[in-house]
Amino acid sequence: MKVEMEDLHEEDATVCDSVNSLVEGCRLPVHMKGTDDWPLAELISIKEILGTKCYYVHYVDFNKRLDEWVTEEYLDTRKVHFPRRDGTSNTGVSTPKKIHFGEVNSRPSSPIPAPSQEILNGNAVLAAALQKKINSRKRKVPTTENEDSLEAPAPPVPGPRQSGSMVAHHDDVVTRMKNVNMIELGRHRIKPWYFAPYPQEMVNLPCIYICEFCLKYKKSRKCLERHLVKCNLKHPPGNEIYRKEGVSFFEIDGRKNKQYAQNLCLLAKLFLDHKTLYYDTDPFLFYVMTVFDNRGFHIVGYFSKEKESTEDYNVACILTMPPYQRKGYGKLLIEFSYELSKFEGKTGSPEKPLSDLGLLSYRSYWAQTILEILITMNPVGENEKPQITINEICELTSIKKEDVISTLQNLNLINYYKGQYIIALNKDIIDSHRKAMESRKIRIDPKCLHWTPKDWGKRAKW
C-alpha cells in the first residue's frame, strides 16, 4: 500500500480482519471514552494483561493528556492505516521532539484499572470540547502565536540555563506514555496527565503518596504516615512573601531548597508536557501559592522564574494543581507574576512554548488587563478622546510589548483612521469585559506583597 504523507484519504485505509494484525504505529478510529466520538488514534503500545489485550492510544488531533488504555471493543478495525516501513506514520503527523531530565529507567505503567477511568472520562469530555475551541481559534491567530507555539520546544541549546544532567531525546514510547496511575496529595487523589521521570520503583504502583508540604513521594499510605510523623512542615519552605484572605505565596530558592524544588518539578511534570525540566534548580526561584486552613498551607499551584532571564521571561513553568483548576487560580498566579515584574520595574513574558491551556489563560489575562486600562482611562481634556501609547500600557501592566500588540490584534481593536491607529471599543466588548471582571473574585493586592527584587547579576553565584 502506498500512501502519500500529505494526502491521506479514507480509501487508503485497510480493513483489518483481526486485531491480531494490529501493530504499534497503526492508526485507526477509536471510541474515546466518555464521548460518542471515534477520532483517529495511534496505537502507541500493545500489551496483554491477564489474557486481555490492551492498547495505549493517542488521539491524533487531541492533547496527549487524553491518551488512554482501551480494549479491543474500542477499536474500529475497518479503517486501519498501517505504519510505513521506514517507521514514520502514514498520516503526516510527526511526533514532536521533547526533552526531559535525568537518566530514567521508567517503563510505561500497566493499563489503569476500571474504577479510576471515571475520573479520566470527565476530563476527556472537557478536553475534547476545549480542543475544538482551540482548533477553531488557531485558525484566527497571527503567526507568532499560532500552532507552532503550541508545539514542543526546539532541541535544547547548551547554555548557562541548561543543566548538564538534562537529556534531550526524541519522543519515545516510554516518555510518550503516562507512567503514574494516580497520586495522592493531601486530601486529593489526582490522575496524572503525562509522563514524569519518577524512579522505577514508584511507577506501576496503584498510587504514589506525596507529602503535601515537603512534596516527598512514598510508595504506600503507611510509608507516608510514617513520614508525616517526622515531617513537621505545614507550609512550603522559603519565605512567605504574600498573604491575603487565606491565599499565600512562598518564595523558594532552587539552590537553597534543592530537594523541594526537584520534587516540585517532578510533580509538575505530571501535568506539563512540553517544558524542559531541570535537575539543576539553582538558577530558578519558585513561587508556590497556597490556601490556608486549620491543617496548614495547601499547595494550589506555582510558577517558576529564572533568577536572571536574558529574554525577559517572568515565568518559566506555571501550574494549577488539577483539583483547583478553572476557579481563577491560574489567573491569580499570572497576576502575581506580573506584580513581581512591576516591583522589578520591568516588562515580562512567559517562556515559550505555551501549552494549550497556558495560551488560553494568558490570552484571557492579557485581554482583561489591557481592557481594564482602556476602559477606565480618562480623557486628557474636555471633548477629547483618551490617549495612551502601547509603551504606556506596557509600563502600567508589565506585559511585554509584543504580547500587548498581539492581544489588541486578537481582540480586533486596532483600526487605522485618518493616518493614525485608533482603538475603538464598542458597547458589547465593554459589557462583556465588565461581566468577566465581576467573576474574577480573587485578585492580587499589591499592598500585601512584601518583597524586594534581588539583583542576581551582581552575585558571584546564585
Residue 279 sits at φ, ψ, to 5 deg, of -75, -35
| Binding test (CB under 6 A) with ligand ACO, winner from 355, 397, 398, 407 | 355
Does position 70 bind Zn ion by CB under 5 A? no
Catalytic site residue 351?
A: yes
Residue 272's binding partner, choosing from ligand ACO, Zn ion, none, with beta-carbon cut-off 5 to 8 A by kind? ligand ACO
- Tell me how far, at minimum, the Cβ of 168 lies from ligand ACO, in Å: 19
Number of helices and strands in the chain (H, E): 9, 19
Contact between residue 44 and residue 176 where contact means Cβ atoms under 8 Å apart: yes
Say how far apart CA 63 and CA 273 lie, in whole Å: 9
211 binds Zn ion (CB under 5 A): yes
Pull the grid cell for residue 334.
499570572
Q: What is the DSSP letter of 247?
A: E
* List 118, 351, 392, 402, catalytic entry: 351
Taking the complex as a whole, the smallest distance from the CB of residue 215 to Zn ion amounts, in Å, to 7
364 binds ligand ACO (CB under 6 A): yes
The cell numbers describing 291, all together, are 490556601
Amino acid making up residue 189: R
Nearest approach in angstroms of CB 231 to Zn ion is 3
Query: In this structure, are residues 27 and 89 in contact, taking their beta carbons and an 8 Å threshold?
Result: yes
> CA-to-CA distance for 456 and 460, rounded, in angstroms?
8
Within 78-137, which residues bind ligand ACO (CB under 6 A)? 126, 130
331 burial via Cβ count (<10 Å: 0-12, 13-18, 19+)? buried
Instruction: Kindly state the cell numbers that stand for 124.
Output: 476527556
Determine if 150 is a binding residue for ligand ACO (CB under 6 A): no
Of the pair 110, 364, the CB lying nearest ligand ACO is at 364
Closer CB to ligand ACO, 126 or 211, in the complex = 126
Specify the residue, 34 or 111, whose C-beta has the smaller distance to ligand ACO: 34
Q: Which of 25/323 has CB closer to ligand ACO?
A: 323
Does 210 bind ligand ACO (CB under 6 A)? Our answer is no
Looking at 237-378, list the stretches that DSSP marks H as alpha helix, in order from N- to C-terminal side: 258-269, 329-344, 356-376
Q: Is 16 in the site for ligand ACO (CB under 6 A)?
A: no
Query: Which residue stretch of 51-59, 209-217, 430-438, 441-449 sits at the interface with Zn ion (rule: CB under 5 A)?
Result: 209-217
Q: Minimum distance from CB of 127 to ligand ACO (Å)?
A: 7
Q: Which stretch binds ligand ACO (CB under 6 A): 170-178, 259-267, 280-288, 350-358?
A: 350-358
Nearest to 252 by CA among 268, 243, 241, 244: 241
* Alpha carbons 239 and 452: distance in angstroms, whole number: 12
Here the cell at position 427 is 458597547
Least distance in Å: CB of 333 to ligand ACO?
Answer: 7
360 is a contact residue toward ligand ACO (CB under 6 A): yes
SS3 of residue 78 by DSSP: coil
Q: Which residues of the chain form contacts with ligand ACO (CB under 6 A)?
A: 126, 130, 271-272, 275, 315, 317-320, 325-331, 350-351, 354-355, 357-358, 360-361, 364
Give catalytic residues, as residue numbers.
Answer: 351
